Structure formats: structure tokens, C-alpha cells
């Protein structure tokens, strides 16, 4: 927390102003608990956190397993292409909660973490995934488990896979959401083929182990 933010970002945040709203996609999957029980991670990195559903599920699993692991949540909290395609979409464009044209959904994420009591486990890093990967590499950070759920566009997902496989510790697990999105599937299949890695499934998630 302090190496990214220089202090405790939860301090003084009035989360009562934001009622708990953990709407998201694929955040309650049984895969999180199973993978966490198997890997027993010290550090989990999540690329794409939105309102925190998956991060909170993972924090619950760490706590339930008596593990002291932390979760670094990387997101711009600006949405992605699909959040900008339909201004009437209550789950995406409207949920960005734009004020004067700029999304405020980060504060809902922060409040959800506080409502769930996981301020000691979850650290947000509001930056794009490529820059975050460079920051992590330059600071010698490696993670045991990395969840990819940011962009759904093929080239961007492929770049996330390249960037975050470099951040994964040897023997760690890279997994992700949205196999049914053609861009995600094409990127995962391309990366797996090039790296000669098997693609397996854990419930609704795709999994790559190195
Ligand atoms: C599908 S949502 C994540 C859902 C979340 N895991 C959940 O449990 O509900 C995708 C998120 O990725 C973020 N995102 C998309 N592209 C990104 C990028 N290049 N860098 C950082 N965040 C990105 C968006 O802001 C959005 O919050």
C-alpha cells in the first residue's frame, strides 16, 4: 500500500456515503476458493476489478483459509470499450457514474472493500494494466496467482497475458474470465499455443499454469 500510494488510502474515506453495491460479472465463482486453497497465495494480482466483486470473493477465501495473502487490484476504473457502446446500459455506461464526464466508480469499489472489511487485504492500483506491469517488474514484485479480467479485446488481452506472465512467479497460476468472448478466447489460445501451455478450466474460468 505505501509503496504504491505513500499512505493508507482508506483512512478518512466516508464509505457510508456509498451503500454496498457489488454488482459485477463472474465474481462469485467457486473457482476463486478452489484456486486459492490449492495455491495458498501470498500475493494475488487482479487485472480488472470494477466494483470489487471478484476481489472481495478472493479476500473472503483468503480469510476463510486462514491465509495472510494480499490482493493488488489493477484497474483504471474508467471502463473498457463495451462500457461505452450503449449509454442506456445500467450495468456498464450508467454504472460508471460519470460526473462532469469522468467516472466515479472507483469510489464505489473503495466503499465495497470497506463494507466487506477487507481494507487490510485489498490494495487498489488505479492505472492501466500495461503501466502497472512495468511498475511491478521495476519493483521486483511477483505474484502467485493472477486473475485477468480487464479488456476483452484480443490484442489487449494478449498483451495482458504477455505482461502478467512476466509478473507471475514460476509455478504460479494465471487465470481469467469471459471464455465466451471471442477476443478473450482468441488471445488465450494464441498465448497458450506460443508458450506451449495447456489451457484448463476451473468452473467458469480459463486457467494457464506455468
Ligand atoms: C469486466 S470488468 C471487471 C469485473 C470484475 N472482475 C468483477 O468481479 O465484477 C473490467 C474492468 O477492467 C477495467 N479495464 C479494462 N481495460 C483495462 C486496462 N487496460 N487497464 C486497467 N483496467 C482496465 C475496466 O475499467 C473494468 O473495471
Domain regions of the chain by residue span: 28-209
- 50, 77, 103, 152: residue to mutate for ligand 1 pocket, most atoms within 8 A of CB: 50
Per-residue confidence band for 155, with pLDDT thresholds at 50, 70 and 90: very high
CATH architecture of 28-209: 3-Layer(aba) Sandwich (3.40)
Q: Quick check: 185 and 179 in contact, CB under 8 A?
A: yes
Ligand 1 nearest-atom number relative to CA 79: 25
**Residue 88, pLDDT score:** 97
- Range 18-24 average pLDDT: 94
Ligand 1 nearest-atom number relative to CA 53: 8
Strands 205-209 and 102-103: unpaired
* E strands in 14-69: 43-47
Q: What pLDDT digit, counting tens, does each position of 87-126 carry? A: 999 999 999 999 999 999 999 999 999 999 999 999 999 9
**Residue 157, pLDDT score:** 98
- CB of 29 sitting under 6 A from ligand 1: no
Distance (Å, rounded) from C-alpha 159 to C-alpha 169?
A: 18
**Residue 209, pLDDT score:** 85
Contacts of 57 (CB under 8 A, 6+ apart): 27, 28, 29, 32, 33
**Residue 63, pLDDT score:** 98
For residue 80, what are the CA distances in angstroms to 4, 93, 146, 153?
23, 10, 20, 9
- CB of 191 sitting under 6 A from ligand 1: no
Secondary structure element (H or E) that encloses residue 35, with its range:
helix 30-39
Ligand 1 centre from 68 Cα, in Å? 25
Q: What pLDDT digit, counting tens, does each position of 173-207 carry? A: 999 999 999 999 999 999 999 999 999 999 999 99
Distance (Å, rounded) from C-alpha 164 to C-alpha 167?
A: 5
Contacts of 23 (CB under 8 A, 6+ apart): 51, 53, 91, 95
Ligand 1 centre from 151 Cα, in Å? 6
Contacts of 40 (CB under 8 A, 6+ apart): 65, 67, 69, 144
Q: What pLDDT digit, counting tens, does each position of 48-70 carry? A: 999 999 999 999 999 999 999 99
Number of Cβ atoms within 10 Å of the Cβ of 127: 16
Ligand 1 centre from 83 Cα, in Å? 10
Amino acid at each position: 500500500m505505501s509503496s504504491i500510494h505513500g499512505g493508507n488510502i482508506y483512512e478518512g474515506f466516508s464509505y457510508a456515503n456509498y451503500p454496498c453495491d457489488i454488482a459485477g460479472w463472474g465474481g462469485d465463482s467457486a473457482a476463486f476458493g478452489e484456486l486459492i486453497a490449492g495455491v495458498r497465495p501470498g500475493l494475488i494480482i487482479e487485472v480488472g476489478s470494477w466494483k470489487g466483486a471478484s476481489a472481495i470473493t478472493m479476500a473472503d477465501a483468503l480469510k476463510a483459509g486462514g491465509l495472510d495473502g494480499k490482493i493488488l487490484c489493477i484497474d483504471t476504473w474508467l471502463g473498457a470499450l463495451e462500457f461505452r457502446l450503449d449509454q442506456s446500459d445500467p450495468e456498464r455506461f450508467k454504472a460508471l457514474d460519470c460526473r462532469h464526464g469522468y467516472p466515479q466508480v472507483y469510489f464505489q469499489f473503495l466503499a465495497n472493500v470497506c463494507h466487506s472489511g477487507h481494507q487490510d487485504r485489498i490494495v487498489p492500483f488505479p492505472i492501466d494494466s500495461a503501466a502497472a506491469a512495468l511498475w511491478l517488474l521495476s519493483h521486483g514484485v511477483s505474484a502467485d496467482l493472477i486473475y485477468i479480467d480487464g479488456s476483452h479485446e484480443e490484442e489487449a488481452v494478449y498483451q495482458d497475458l504477455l505482461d502478467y506472465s512476466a509478473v507471475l512467479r514460476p509455478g504460479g497460476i494465471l487465470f481469467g474470465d469471459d471464455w465466451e468472448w471471442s477476443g478473450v478466447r482468441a488471445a488465450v489460445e494464441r498465448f497458450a499455443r506460443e508458450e506451449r501451455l495447456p489451457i484448463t478450466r476451473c468452473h467458469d474460468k480459463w486457467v494457464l499454469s506455468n
